[in-house]
Amino acid sequence: MDEEVIIAKYNSYIEAFQSKDYNLIGEFCRAPFFSTSPIGTTIFQNTNDIVSGFSSMRESLDLEDYQFSRLNKLDFIPLSKQTNLLKVDFDRINSNGDAYHNGNATYVFHSEDNDFKISGIIVSDAKTTSKWAEN
């Protein structure tokens, strides 16, 4: 049951990311929120910081001709009743339909008020969230 709920939440989060619905992304995430990658860790203390961070990162992708993300692989990893991981492999697609970036990330979902929220993202490469580190 949790697996289906979390995967549906992730799919809605990706749709919000692609359509630049940053307030909806803020609703999917729990503050404080973290993103960690080989280039560093960013902590967003509140929902406004989360919205601003996702906005900055997503808007920067327009310069790369980002159109959408294609999911290649998704692995659900239950850790406890309240904590689950979702490991994703994805490609960023441009307007020509070409994959120009492959990324891997693990999303941390925690149960909060009978709902799962994303509390952090563990990114395996330096480029996927590099724009967060520049702000």
- pLDDT tens across 39-57, in order? 899 999 999 999 999 999 9
Mean pLDDT (whole number) for 31-38 = 95
Q: pLDDT tens-digit profile of 52-92?
A: 999 999 999 999 999 999 999 999 999 999 999 999 999 99
Provide the b/e sequence for 28-49 (b: ≥16 CB within 10 Å). bbbeebebebebeebebeebeb
Domain 2-130 in this protein, CATH class: alpha beta
Domain locations in the chain? 2-130
What's the predicted TM-score (pTM) here? Answer: 0.91
Supply the mean pLDDT for the chain.
Answer: 93
Asked if 108 contacts 28 with a C-beta cutoff of 8 angstroms, the reply is no
Q: Are strands 29-37 and 115-123 parallel, antiparallel or unpaired?
A: parallel
